[in-house]
Structure 1
Amino acid sequence: MNAMATTINLRAAPVRLAGKATVRRSASLRRPAGRVVAKAAPGSSEPAKSESSVETGRLALLATVASNPVLFGAQEAFAKGGEFGIFEGRTMALIHPLFLGGLWFATVYAGYLGLQWRKVRTVGEEISELKKEIPAAVPAAVTANGEVEAAAAPSMTAAQVETKKKIDELTAERKELIAGNYKEKHNNWGSLLLAFGVTLAVEGGMNTYLRTGKLFPGPHLYAGMAITCLWAMAAGLVPEMQRGNQKARDLHIALNCVNLALFTWQIPTGLEIVGKVFQFTSWP
């Protein structure tokens, strides 16, 4: 009934009574039945007609609201008061937790892709170091007659033979890693995280403000702010990483590890907020 009364007050149009007196329908609904609104000459039938007009307008408004479920339930669907429409409803409030849940899995996957790409470099460096332990092959020799003698295979110890096997295994593994195209995939997923993560972080705070008229400083909000900053800092290191700066690479990995830890720690507080959304809002 509160929603209906508010809707009537906001949407009711003026009702013109007998003579030149004009009142709003919302006021006429609050006017006690039987009260004469306009004065008329003694013995005239104008007061009865005026009262009849008010009653007719009241019934018309009640019929309009009762036949429109959207207007009747508007106030119940929004937590703050309804002035922002569907942006205060449950549907918009659930966008933030739903998509950020997907971004948590995207963060884990992007980290996996990054580590696989890093392994391409580290395996290559390991192969280069192991090759130093293998004696170089004797180059082919040319005889006095102009014939080319086959290159003599270098003599290797048992340890060097094992090293040679390990080099072959690492070489095959590196080829598979390169074929996985992990560098491009990691860059693509990192870009998606930055774009959607920052957007959803801003959307979450804005939605809370629209629903309640304020923000709630606390662990969830502070962690979200830190995660957003870490996304930006990790992305800012990419140019130096592309130049081969190892310190930038290590810092990039460290920042993203802290980011994932905060993201994971934020899940319980986020679920508490989702529970409050279901408690204090309605569909849509």
Structure 2
Amino acid sequence: MAIPLGLLSLGTTTLSQKPLLQTISELPNPSRKQFTNHSKSFNQQAIQHLTHLTAISLPFLVNQQDALAVGGEFGLLEGRTVALIHPIVLGSLFFYTLYAGYLGWQWRRVRTIQTEINELKKQLKPAQLATPEGSPPVQPSPIEITIQQLTEERKELLKGSYKDRHFNAGSILLGFGVFEAVAGPVNTYMRTGKLFPGPHLYAGAAITVLWAAAAALVPAMQKGNETARNLHIALNVLNVLLFAWQIPTGFDIVLKVFEFTNWP
């Protein structure tokens, strides 16, 4: 740190000038003593001012990067415990994404199975749709057996309430996912004072955008828009692929967290 020379000279000027000392020695004794006392008082005040000025100017004289460096001012938020929340939550959300996809696929099956039943019924002859009373039972055709099996399957699927469960799972995934996608980089900045642009950060941003885009299609899906439904599925498939691809880079970051942080 460099302190201006002008500040250093403030308290030493009256002590180092020889003509002034000679002048003092030539004064009468009472005047000399009085002048010396004033000089000492002035020097003490000058030293006090110098100390105050140095303390005030210190933040402006130190290196700016040192002043901005992260080094404990965030307390526990810089520790290993908080840093590990992000990988733990995101790892859990990866498997929860697969579960939400399973629920969505089952709900889609509920809708498509009814379409299959309607198409099969169109293939039956009118005489096969209703058996007259008193007539001997007719052996069901393969199409009728298939219709019966699909009908039973649909009844079982309806008991699973997959529509509501998929919607709830998607809402939880969106809420926790977006929150942690933002909290992770914020924590990295708290620990290191900077972010690290790279595959992990870019993939995480893309996943967050895909979550939002897939959720934005829900109103159109509820109105029966098949294009919105197919796009919703495509976005989520891409999301899962990006999520899986991001795991190795995330694991590398976890190793660095253990290397450069301490408990808690």
Q: Which has the higher contact order (CA 8 A, sep 6+)?
A: 2
**Matches of 2:183 and 2:103, distance apart in 1:** 28
Work out the percentage of aligned pairs sharing the same amino acid: 63
Question: What is the aligned partner in structure 1 of residue 156 from structure 2?
Answer: 176
**Matches of 1:150 and 1:82, distance apart in 2:** 87
Question: What is the aligned partner in structure 1 of residue 86 from structure 2?
Answer: 96
Q: Deviations over 1:60-104 (max 9, x none)?
A: xxxxxxxxxxxxxxxxxxx93101111101011000000111100
Question: Structure 1-normalised TM-score?
Answer: 0.65
Q: Give the alignment's Cα RMSD to 1 decimal.
A: 2.0
Query: Any conservation in 2 of the 1:139–1:152 contact (CA below 8 Å)?
Result: no
**Matches of 1:138 and 1:151, distance apart in 2:** 15
Question: What is the aligned partner in structure 2 of residue 135 from structure 1?
Answer: 125
**Matches of 1:138 and 1:227, distance apart in 2:** 52
More helix as a share of residues: 2
Which structure 1 residue ranges, 4+ long, deviate > 3 Å from structure 2? 137-140, 151-156
Question: What is the aligned partner in structure 1 of residue 179 from structure 2?
Answer: 199
Q: Which has the larger radius of gyration?
A: 2
Question: What is the aligned partner in structure 2 of residue 7 from structure 1?
Answer: none
Shift of 1:191: 0.2
Q: Does 1:279 align with 2:259?
A: yes
Q: Which 5+ residue runs of structure 2 have no aligned equivalent?
A: 1-68
**Matches of 1:139 and 1:176, distance apart in 2:** 24
**Matches of 1:199 and 1:245, distance apart in 2:** 29
The 5 A counterparts of 1:214-253 are 214-253=194-233
Query: Any conservation in 2 of the 1:139–1:151 contact (CA below 8 Å)?
Result: no
Question: What is the aligned partner in structure 2 of residue 41 from structure 1?
Answer: none
Q: Does the C-alpha gap of structure 1 residues 280 and 178 become closer, same or farther in structure 2, counting only changes over 3 Å?
A: same
**Matches of 1:202 and 1:218, distance apart in 2:** 16
Q: Does 1:117 align with 2:74?
A: no
One-letter amino acid matched to 1:209: Y
Q: Does the C-alpha gap of structure 1 residues 269 and 241 become closer, same or farther in structure 2, counting only changes over 3 Å?
A: same
Matched residue SS, 2:219: helix
One-letter amino acid matched to 1:87: L
**Matches of 1:232 and 1:90, distance apart in 2:** 30
Query: Any conservation in 2 of the 1:194–1:231 contact (CA below 8 Å)?
Result: yes
Paired residue total: 195
